[in-house]
Structure 1
């Protein structure tokens, strides 16, 4: 494995419930780009020495990229969900997404009808589900605004890749 200062390094997850970590290489201590590397981790903001294993992938930094070199880019967004259940049968959810570029927020609400069984987890699911739907709409609206800023004209970002509404 060879790397240079400014390259990105991703540590791939071995299990579905583990996250991919990505960092920027800020120092190279080995000869000719060999490890160890000092990495600034994007998810935590911490910097530390790394001796990469077989689950590590290096991607050239922006200074070395030409055109659309393949290989992908690992990113991690932080999403937090807060749920409040009221004695009145109402549940409110607040979802916050930290994208690394901006923070987006949305809200969702659910209300138990008179005579319904008291099952708070259902209200949680409905309120959080509605908050995530609203967050999805906000993300698509933000993407459309970003495209407009880059392209200089109005645009619409469709809800699905194939053009359907769902």
Structure 2
């Protein structure tokens, strides 16, 4: 991981209910742009909190493009994803994902069923239903990619869920 002063750092959480942290790197203390970094966090509108961090695998650096530098080969895209969760008193939780890729809209669904003997913890039903909806969404994306490749190459194609063909 390499960074320069002015780059942004985004740290995602391993938990669904935890916020994503984003901040500006204001000092690089490692050699050649390596950690540790002093980061000014921009959470809840406050920008006065700083930390010295050694980022882990859940962090990514967003490099700032200098105004005089030409655009590089990277082309960023942003997809808009809505997740709708519907909880029923019967113990059924449904999740609906709608993603607008800018080219097409994709949808998927997931459900969780609470057994009568299970504790009524809404968060668990939400996580299971949304997790299943995202798994279905990932499969839907892979099938759509395979169909696009088949259309271009004129032959049947199968896209595996991981580059090695194995689930991590």
Match for residue 9 of structure 2 among 11, 15, 18 = 15
Unaligned runs of 5+ in 2: 1-5, 11-19, 23-62
The answer on 1:146 being equivalent to 2:148 is yes
Q: Deviations over 1:10-46 (max 9, x none)?
A: xx9713156xxxxxxxxxxxxxxxxxxxxxxxxxxxx
Distance in 2, Cα, partners of 1:100 & 1:107: 20
Q: Is the partner of 1:141 in helix, strand or coil?
A: helix
Aligned to 1:88: 90
Q: TM-score, normalised by structure 2?
A: 0.60
- Deviation beyond 6 Å, 4+ runs, structure 1: none
Match for residue 75 of structure 2 among 73, 76, 99 = 73
Two-structure CA RMSD over aligned residues (Å): 2.1
Q: When the two structures are aligned, how many residues end up with a matched partner?
A: 110
Distance in 1, Cα, partners of 2:167 & 2:128: 21
Distance in 2, Cα, partners of 1:162 & 1:110: 30
Aligned to 1:109: 111
Distance in 1, Cα, partners of 2:114 & 2:9: 38
Distance in 2, Cα, partners of 1:14 & 1:104: 30
Distance in 2, Cα, partners of 1:88 & 1:136: 28
Aligned to 1:123: 125
Distance in 2, Cα, partners of 1:80 & 1:14: 25
Q: Is the partner of 2:123 in helix, strand or coil?
A: helix
Unaligned runs of 5+ in 1: 1-11, 19-53, 60-69
Q: Deviations over 1:129-155 (max 9, x none)?
A: 000000000000000000011111111
Q: Deviations over 1:85-105 (max 9, x none)?
A: 001111000001111111100
User: Structure 1 13/111 Cα, relative in aligned 2: closer, same or farther at 3 Å?
Assistant: farther
